[in-house]
Amino acid sequence: NVIIGKNQMEGVHCDKHDCTIENVWWDDVCEDALSVKGGTASSVTTVTGGGARSADDKVIQHNGFGTVKIDGFYGEDISKLYRSCGTCGDKQRKVSVSNVYVVNPGNAVVTVNKNWNDEATLSNVWVKSSGDKVKICQWSQGNANGEPSILGDGPSPPLCQYSESDVHINGDVSQATGNSTSSSSTSNETPSSSTGSSSTATQDGFDHLVTGVGVCRADASQPESSETQQQQAEEATQQTQQSSASASSKKSDENDDAKNEEQTVPPSGSTSSAESATPSGSSTSTDSATKSSSTGSATDTSSNDSTTQSSTAGSSTQSSSAGSATNTSSKDSTTQSSAAGSATQSSTTGSTTTGSDTQSSTAGSTTQSSAAGSATQTSTNSSTNSSTSTGSVPDGTWPTSTGSVKFTAPHVIKAGEVFDGKMQTFDRSDITCTGGEGQKDTAVFLVEAGGTLKNAIIGKNQKEGVHCDDHDCTIENVWWDDVCEDALSVKGGTASSVTTVTNCGARSASDKVVQHNGYGTVSIDGFYAEEFGKLYRSCGDIPRTVTVKNVYAVNPLVSVVTVNKNYGDKATLSNIRIKTSNGNSDVKVCQWSQGGSTPSNLGDGPSGTLCQYSESDVQINQ
């Protein structure tokens, strides 16, 4: 019984599968309405009732294992109601779609991957379209190392299981039959036995529930507040408190001494996979306590309007303007921080906060073993976060680690801070690069706009490496030892945002090294890449700019850079050196694609403003 508004990017995330989504309506889909990830082959996520409209691409994105069941859904002006991820690797996914009414599908109702043995079952599907042909179930050739390609559509068991009688195109939907559960129910209860009905999931019902359709983001030319940027970048869904008391509490807490390590805004380090925010207007009492799953101890709070967010262990921390110390045993070290943002730092023997390892707003415990001393994090409001270094072509020498630091949650680098890792290796003690999909909660560092990460090696135990979810980050002398999904993800920001990546390196990336989802520009100057799919990939339907210079690339599997031609991307490359172990000189330096729900590669090589470079800018096997 929820309506998802227009001011978001990712809608709803179910990152460990096995979720129940009932009577949820997406008013204006931005990237995806619902993302289903992780889980096992036996996992089942159910989507019952509800609807979505204005989805340029996918409504439901299925990246994980197992099954998604859609029963009773209304889709309007959408590209695809369901998509089994075509770039997420060789894993079988299943979907059942029944009792749906789709108006103007731009691509297909369902798209699955033939080569990965997906299975789709459809029944009682009603479609209204002005197009000549409607694709009900379409199948593609999945490609984990590039772009998927469409192979065909129509009934093809067990890939696409349905008959002509299961589909009604431009028929009278009032004649639809199915189990009836009102899509406009306002009950606070969520009966697990409810079933959907195409006869109730109609356009009239949607318009009755939802008013005011708008764009999914503010105009890129307008500066956004940090709070707005946080909301748009959040992939682990959080509900932001709107009351004036919360705003007052936030303002006072931001002025606290660093030693308190408390923030009332939901920190991007708060990455519990089972977060539960108190709805707006129902703030918690002043004496609410923190529940510990192992000790049962409580943390007393003095904030007038604390926001409660529960972690996977069921605990919730509430902020205090005076700052509170939260003790966490080694058994509880994986408990995620709540909206209070309290920095709980635990060693394997207990909870400690030391001067030598000050990790502000780190949600989980830190285990550090270093020959060169602890990592330091310096807070500053000066311009020191802006890198003044310039890149140079690397020689392929990999840096030597000076020690090891392991986190149990992403470490947050705040705006204006410079985190100097002193060439230690940083990764996670609770995550390995195996199975399922990762989001920012599986990253090692979350760098806020204006933050700097320098002199660090990212180890293999992680999925997402480094996230810059509000753009305008400085990444300097950072080396990814074994890339899992992406090394660096750049999101959010505005058209004037710039993230710089200087004198860095990455190896063993089966897909992307730098993924650019946000607005603005990414500047890469001095980078060593070895055994990778793409050094840079522009993603999405807005124009992006990238400059790449002083790069040494060994064995690129797809290309050095891939951009989207139809969205007006601009790539400028210079001083690119490439080495292939097989001596092949046919290397795609700058490749361009037709961006869209199913991107397709169009070509590569110099091409006006799209791929700006000359032959003299590139040296292959020299």
Q: Residue 173: what pLDDT? A: 83
**Residue 88 reports pLDDT greater than 80:** yes
Task: Give 133's pLDDT tier (boundaries 50, 70, 90).
Answer: confident
Q: Residue 292: what pLDDT? A: 35
pLDDT digits (tens, 9 = 90+) for 156-180: 999 999 998 999 999 888 777 654 3
3-12, 183-192, 440-449, range with the lowest pLDDT: 183-192
Domains 2-185+196-209 and 342-620 share a fold: yes
- Asked if 402 and 422 touch (Cβ cutoff 8 Å), the reply is yes
Q: Residue 86: what pLDDT? A: 84
Amino acid at the residue 248: S
- Asked if 93 and 69 touch (Cβ cutoff 8 Å), the reply is no
Q: How many CB atoms lie within 10 A of CB 400?
A: 8
User: CA–CA distance from 510 to each of 143, 144, 275, 398, 483 (Å)?
Assistant: 11, 8, 31, 19, 8
Q: Residue 622: what pLDDT? A: 87
HEC letters along 167-214: EEECCCHHHCCCCCCCCCCCCCCCCCCCCCCCCCCCHHHHHHHCCCCC
Q: Using CA atoms, how far apart are residues 182 and 65, in angstroms rounded to an integer?
A: 30
- Asked if 619 and 577 touch (Cβ cutoff 8 Å), the reply is yes
| 284: nearest Cα among 299, 266, 303 | 303
| 126: nearest Cα among 32, 201, 19 | 201
Average pLDDT over every residue of 450-466: 96
| 303: nearest Cα among 230, 247, 359 | 247
* DSSP E strands, 270-414: 346-347, 350-351, 366-370, 376-379, 403-407, 411-413
Q: Using CA atoms, how far apart are residues 379 and 406, in angstroms rounded to an integer?
A: 21
Q: Which residues of 557-593 are buried (b: 16+ CB within 10 A; e: fewer)?
A: ebbbbbbbbebebbbbbbbbbbbeeeeeeebbbbbbb
φ, ψ for residue 252, nearest 5 deg:
-70, -40
Question: Residue 92, Cα to own-chain centre: how many angstroms?
Answer: 22
φ, ψ for residue 251, nearest 5 deg:
-65, -40
**Residue 511 reports pLDDT greater than 70:** yes
Q: Residue 196: what pLDDT? A: 55
Within 20-107, where are the H helices? none
Residue linked to tokens 């949607």? 206
- Asked if 607 and 592 touch (Cβ cutoff 8 Å), the reply is yes
Burial of residue 163 (number of CB atoms within 10 Å: 0-12, 13-18, 19+): exposed
Helix (H) or strand (E) holding 227: helix 226-233
- Asked if 385 and 450 touch (Cβ cutoff 8 Å), the reply is yes
| 490: nearest Cα among 313, 258, 233 | 233
Q: Using CA atoms, how far apart are residues 275 and 271, in angstroms rounded to an integer?
A: 8
Average pLDDT over every residue of 396-411: 96
**Residue 437 reports pLDDT greater than 80:** no
pLDDT digits (tens, 9 = 90+) for 416-428: 999 999 999 999 9
Beta strand 94-113 with 137-141 is parallel
- Asked if 29 and 7 touch (Cβ cutoff 8 Å), the reply is no
Q: Using CA atoms, how far apart are residues 60 and 116, in angstroms rounded to an integer?
A: 18
**Residue 209 reports pLDDT greater than 60:** no
129-143, 144-158, 229-243, 365-379, range with the lowest pLDDT: 229-243
Average pLDDT over every residue of 67-85: 96
- Asked if 96 and 160 touch (Cβ cutoff 8 Å), the reply is no
Query: DSSP 3-state assignment of 264?
Result: coil
**Residue 598 reports pLDDT greater than 50:** yes
- Asked if 25 and 210 touch (Cβ cutoff 8 Å), the reply is yes
Q: How many CB atoms lie within 10 A of CB 543?
A: 16
Q: Using CA atoms, how far apart are residues 183 and 200, in angstroms rounded to an integer?
A: 6
Q: State both tokens at 262.
A: 């408390």
Beta strand 12-14 with 34-36 is parallel
Note the maximum CA span of the chain: 73
Residue linked to tokens 């791929």? 611
Q: What is the homologous superfamily of the domain 342-620 according to CATH? A: Single-stranded right-handed beta-helix, Pectin lyase-like (2.160.20.10)
Helix (H) or strand (E) holding 489: strand 488-490
Task: Give 361's pLDDT tier (boundaries 50, 70, 90).
Answer: very low
Q: Residue 366: what pLDDT? A: 56
Average pLDDT over every residue of 212-241: 36
**Residue 375 reports pLDDT greater than 80:** no
Query: DSSP 3-state assignment of 103?
Result: strand
Q: State both tokens at 102.
A: 């789709």
| Nearest-10 Cα torsion for 102, 35, 484, 395 | 70
Highest mean pLDDT among 185-194, 310-319, 365-374, 516-525: 516-525
Query: DSSP 3-state assignment of 354?
Result: coil
277 secondary structure, DSSP code:
B
3-state helix, strand, coil in the chain (%, to 5): 10, 40, 55
Q: Residue 172: what pLDDT? A: 86
**Radius of gyration, CA atoms only, the chain:** 24
Query: 175: Cβ–Cβ under 8 A, 6 or more apart, which residues?
Result: none
pLDDT digits (tens, 9 = 90+) for 247-285: 333 333 333 333 333 333 333 333 333 333 333 333 333
- Asked if 439 and 236 touch (Cβ cutoff 8 Å), the reply is yes
**Residue 80 reports pLDDT greater than 70:** yes
Query: What residue ranges do the domains of the chain occupy?
Result: 2-185+196-209, 342-620
Average pLDDT over every residue of 86-114: 93
Average pLDDT over every residue of 184-188: 37
Residue linked to tokens 């690797």? 89
Average pLDDT over every residue of 206-213: 40
Q: State both tokens at 487.
A: 């090394």
Per the model's pLDDT, the better-predicted residue between 191 and 618 turns out to be 618
pLDDT digits (tens, 9 = 90+) for 9-51: 999 999 999 999 999 999 999 989 999 999 999 999 999 999 9
Q: Residue 1: what pLDDT? A: 96
Q: Using CA atoms, how far apart are residues 258 and 414, in angstroms rounded to an integer?
A: 11
Average pLDDT over every residue of 521-539: 96
Average pLDDT over every residue of 312-320: 34
Q: Which residues of 457-482 are buried (b: 16+ CB within 10 A; e: fewer)?
A: bbbebbbbbbbbbbbbbbbbbbbbbb
Q: What is the homologous superfamily of the domain 2-185+196-209 according to CATH? A: Single-stranded right-handed beta-helix, Pectin lyase-like (2.160.20.10)
**Residue 230 reports pLDDT greater than 50:** no
**Residue 371 reports pLDDT greater than 60:** no
Q: Using CA atoms, how far apart are residues 598 and 539, in angstroms rounded to an integer?
A: 12
Q: What is the mean pLDDT of the chain?
A: 74
pTM higher than 0.95: no
